[in-house]
Amino acid sequence: MTPSSPVRHESQQGPMSTKTERLFKLYGEDVEQRYAPRTAEGYRFYARQFLLWLRARGIELNAVRTEDLQAFQRELYTRRRKDGRPYSVGHQATVLTVVRHLFRFLYRRLYIVKDPAASLELPRLEKRLPRVILSPQEVLRMLGSARQKTPTGLRDRAILETFYATGLRVSELARLTPYDVDTEERVLRVVLGKGRKDRNVPLTRAAAAALEHYLVKARPKLVREFKAPYLFLADKGGFLHCAVLNKIVRRYAKKARIKKHVTCHTFRHTVATHLLKGRADIRHIQVLLGHRSLGTTELYTRVEISDLKEVIRRAHPRGR
């Protein structure tokens, strides 16, 4: 589990001790080198929240005991949002993951002689099925709703085709450059994906053609004087932020009269499910999506079983 979007909450304010601040700075430099910017920001944010908790109790970072961490964990379970609701189990697990990561760093760098977080247990997370998956017909309606008579229309069609062909994470697609695309070989190179790993993914013929049209006919018209290096450009030639990409996807879902809550990540779930139903090997899907663990990919087998159960319930003489 890697944090990416910190959940803001009330915390103690004030400076930490010089010793703790120095260790925190070294930790921050390490995560910046090893992780993507958003992930590194999450690690630093939650680590600082924990350090402020220590400061309020007069505990130095290099003097933390297992008992201190158990007290922090108990308080974390009872912490409430401003509206009085408890934080989710996922949030609790994220904070504790960062705490364990922090002490693992300190132990491996020999800043502490014993890791007090080695026995810290995370709360169990329920493996939830993807909430929204598009049908093949819904995907085709979305693709067809992108008008290809304007530069932005060609861009949007290429974006949708790329999402559906590759199942890229939105942050991965946003950081693509023209040099990552080979439309002749129909291959896309993802540089520094999640876990800072590169991978090559195949493109469908339709996605390769849409990208070729975009690169030749549309992108030169979107480039402005500062010439942003990214593959997909905003209307004024700048970086196309993840939030804008999600707005684009939602706009075409609305044009296609799809009432589901569709995001860029919906395509990722959809691609995996469609490939699995087409009898693709689950390990091939794992490579395509860039999953570190096969267990993450196996979640989609539960989607197919759920669909099969519904078919049995509706169609089998003894299913009702």
Q: Which residues are catalytic?
A: 169, 194, 265, 268, 291, 300
DSSP string, the chain: ----S--------SPPPHHHHHHHHHHHHHHHHHS-HHHHHHHHHHHHHHHHHHHHTT--GGG--HHHHHHHHHHHHH-B-TTSPBPPHHHHHHHHHHHHHHHHHHHHTTSSSS-TTTTPPPPPPP-PPPS----HHHHHHHHHTS--SSHHHHHHHHHHHHHHHH---HHHHHT--GGGEETTTTEEEE-S-TTS--EEEE--HHHHHHHHHIIIIIHHHH--TT----SSB-TTSSB--HHHHHHHHHHHHHHTT--S---HHHHHHHHHHHHHHTT--HHHHHHHHT-SSHHHHHHHHHHHHHHHHHHHHHHSTT--
